[in-house]
Amino acid sequence: MSPEELVKKAAIITGDIAAAGKLQPDQANKFIDFVIQETMLDKNARVVRFKPETHDINKIGVGTRVAMPKSEAADPRRRRGVTTSKVTLSPQVIAVPFELSDEFLEVNLEEEQVEDHIVQMMARQFANDLEELYINGHTVGPAAIENDIYPPGSTTEYILDDYLALFDGWLELSEGANLVDFSGQNIEPDVFSRMLNAMPSKFRRDKRNLRFFCSTELEQRYRLAVSGRATAGGDAALEGSGNLKPFGVELVPAPLLPDQPKWVEHVALTALTPASLSFSPIVSGTVVVSSSTLTTNVPETPFIENTDYTVDLTNGTVVRLGGSAIGSGDTVKVTYETQSQLLLTHNNNFILGIGRDIKVEQGRDIFKGANQWIMTAKVSVQLEELTAIVKGKNIGLL
């Protein structure tokens, strides 16, 4: 079934929307299928469809040795057990509101079909936006130029990106996992080898279920490196379209995993003492230092580099300058881009939750002369097993 057919069958057609706007269970499931199939998440994540406000995923496992010596005709006197825990999905509501004016509907080339076409386009972009949030979400909330988030807006002042601040995505969640810092080393077989060695042995036994996840640009750089070999593998990397498998593990390019992920953290700047950031080296020209209280509704002019602060890109530090508009001891929001990141985990460790109560509602503003639409859904992400993920950071951009 094509994406267009899925969208249509999920009731994303103007004439099929129920008055209340809530999709029927089979429609909601088909819409969720569409969202997954539109992204790299298909077959690379565990999808949980839930109804309540929060959803617990119970886990059961055996984390330590269970075998012990046994003497003849004697009770070993000890008993082994299992460990239980749970992962909680706490969903957030997201919305896609848009409207189409009567004038636009009258003069466009597609005439009566344009509204259906635009609603389908919005549904497809909705899928991409969800993937962006699943990967790049960060509750601290990055600073962004207002016009980039809510045009038309200021092209020089910054606001809080409140969408990415909804919850922590997989890049942030994996900061608590097994970390390998490559300090600017370029992508090569040694990178994959070191990450595999950093994976606990109990999780790397079956490489068929493991996946490397990276940006499309990083995958292309590795493909180029492999294609230079005078081997069948080199020819396949150059001419083939299938995913590469370094050390037998599939390398999955994720289009919405940035090659230079944007990172954000709140840092206290005291006196003239350098404060360390989480990543180094930092990508030149990407650092924005703003107030930690930055909001979405009030654009701000950020602090000025070399006047209020300086940054050591190589060592990943920021320091307040004398006479700065930043007071000693003040906490600031530092938004910057890192070098490439690479994730290694099994293909069901990424958990994404999507509520079944999906709504696609239509209305009419008679005073403006416009048809109004809004799509709403509840979503959440988690990692099932934090110790089953390895994160490679600071991989070179060359």
For the cut 80, the answer to whether the pLDDT of residue 182 exceeds it is yes
Of 110-114, 147-151, 277-281, least confident by mean pLDDT is 110-114
CA distance 280 to 296: 28
Contact predicate 353/48, CB 8 Å: yes
Structure tokens, 346: 């099994």
Same domain, 196 and 285: no
For the cut 60, the answer to whether the pLDDT of residue 348 exceeds it is yes
Same domain, 103 and 205: no
Same domain, 201 and 293: no
Say how many CA atoms lie within 13 Å of 159 toward its Cβ.
Answer: 18
- Kindly indicate the confidence band of residue 53, based on its pLDDT and cuts at 50, 70 and 90: confident
Does residue 150 fall inside a structural domain?
no
Torsion of CA 48, 177, 160, 126, to 10 degrees: -30
Angle between helices 232-239 and 216-227 (to 10 degrees): 140
For the cut 60, the answer to whether the pLDDT of residue 110 exceeds it is no
CA distance 194 to 190: 6
Contact predicate 214/194, CB 8 Å: no
Same domain, 23 and 46: yes
* CATH code of the domain covering residue 135: 3.30.2400.20
Burial of 310 (0-12, 13-18, 19+ CB in 10 A): middle
Structure tokens, 91: 């969903």
Q: Which residue in 349, 340, 342, 347 sits closest to 192, CA to CA?
A: 342
Structural domains of the chain, count? 3
What average pLDDT score do residues 157-185 get?
Answer: 96
Same domain, 304 and 357: no
Does residue 178 fall inside a structural domain?
yes
Q: Where are the alpha helices (DSSP H) in the chain?
A: 3-9, 25-37, 102-107, 114-136, 146-149, 170-173, 189-198, 216-227, 232-239
Same domain, 269 and 326: yes
CA distance 296 to 294: 7
Contact predicate 160/295, CB 8 Å: yes
Same domain, 213 and 278: no
Q: What is the DSSP string of 278-289?
A: SSSSBPTT--EE
Contact predicate 267/277, CB 8 Å: yes
Does residue 28 fall inside a structural domain?
yes
Does residue 68 fall inside a structural domain?
no
Does residue 65 fall inside a structural domain?
no
Same domain, 13 and 133: yes
Query: What's at 396, amino acid-wise?
Result: G
Handedness of CA 159, 165, 171, 177 (dihedral sign): positive
CA distance 2 to 122: 17
Structure tokens, 11: 């009731």
Does residue 157 fall inside a structural domain?
no
Structure tokens, 17: 């929307």
**Would you state the pLDDT for residue 19?**
44
CA distance 263 to 265: 7
Q: What is the pLDDT of residues 351-361, one digit of tens each?
A: 988 888 888 88
CA distance 10 to 28: 7
Same domain, 135 and 20: yes
Does residue 329 fall inside a structural domain?
yes
Same domain, 23 and 116: yes
Q: State if pTM tops 0.85.
A: no
Structural domain including 96 reads 3-56+88-145+347-381
Same domain, 174 and 239: yes
CA–centroid distance for 101 within its chain:
34
Q: What DSSP character marks residue 338?
A: B
Contact predicate 39/354, CB 8 Å: no
CA distance 337 to 332: 16
Does residue 110 fall inside a structural domain?
yes
- Kindly indicate the confidence band of residue 373, based on its pLDDT and cuts at 50, 70 and 90: confident
Comparing 77 with 317, which gets the higher pLDDT? 317
Q: What is the pLDDT of residues 203-254, one digit of tens each?
A: 888 889 999 999 999 999 999 988 877 676 666 677 677 899 999 999 999 9
Same domain, 276 and 249: no
